[in-house]
Amino acid sequence: MVRTIRYQEIAASVRDRVAAGRYAPGRLLPSEAELSAEFDASRVTIRRALETLRDDGLIAARQGFGWFVATAPLRQTLGQLHTIEDQLAEGGIVAERRIIEFAFVTATPRVRAALSTDHVLQVKRVNLADGEPFAVVTVWCPAELGQALSRLDVERSPFYELLGIPLRGATQTIGADLVTAADAALLGVPAGSPVLLCERVTTGTDGRPVLFSHHVFPAHRTEFVVELPHAEPSIAPTGLRLLESS
């Protein structure tokens, strides 16, 4: 009879849960303390079981998050104005939107500064990839542009397609922060864990800002990709342009 070491038994149990879909790709596992209580094992034993699964490539760990089921990061290419849902769909991932808030409200000072208006439509949603939350997004547009929109409209289609006006482009700012308790609950991550923040101001062809959006992505499964074209060397001094004479 082959004797199974305790940490191997625990590793096998967690592996079976992942295989059965109980822990989806990117999903956080219970904490080491929770697993220790569940399996009635020491933290040392639990850690060794998890490290075994990590060495097999099944799970991974990040500071501030703990252990989670390993998966390829969700990538968003920032070279052009399109939605991350479209990019996920191209990779065979089912993208969904769950509307949390839909209301016409008085703009906060930050939103007022971005959109130059006092009255806005505010829509907050959770974005999901294959059923797992990967972003909390809040979008504001001037109230007059949002009057014809419904909750169902913004759940099914991106704002870009709903406004009915030609767009010039957007300015996007990316930073990092610690997630609030409210957004952590929506994303299924620990409060205070690291997130990537993206703020975007979208303008029409007349230069008027028409959308302001705030995106919160869990840092353990998100990547932003930007292509940087190589500029050919020039003999022109910086800041000057050469003109050809006729």
User: What is the CATH topology of the domain spanning 74-225?
Assistant: Chorismate lyase (3.40.1410)
Could you tell me where in the chain the CATH 3.40.1410.10 domains are found?
74-225
Neighbours of 105 (CB within 10 A): 13
**pTM summary value:** 0.79
Could you tell me where in the chain the CATH 1.10.10.10 domains are found?
6-69
CB 155 within 8 A of CB 97: yes
> From first to last of its 246 residues, what are the pLDDT tens digits of the chain?
345 699 999 999 999 999 888 888 888 899 999 999 999 999 999 999 999 999 999 998 888 788 988 887 777 766 665 667 777 777 777 889 999 999 999 999 999 999 999 999 999 999 998 888 989 999 999 999 999 999 999 998 888 889 888 999 889 899 999 999 999 999 988 888 899 999 999 999 999 999 999 999 998 888 888 777 776 665 555 555 545 544
Rounded CA gap, 215 and 196, in Å?
Answer: 8
Span 161-199, pLDDT tens digits: 898 889 998 898 999 999 999 999 999 888 888 999 999
For 83, the token pair is 């939605």
User: What is the CATH topology of the domain spanning 6-69?
Assistant: Arc Repressor Mutant, subunit A (1.10.10)
Rounded CA gap, 229 and 149, in Å?
Answer: 39
Q: Which amino acid is at 31?
A: S
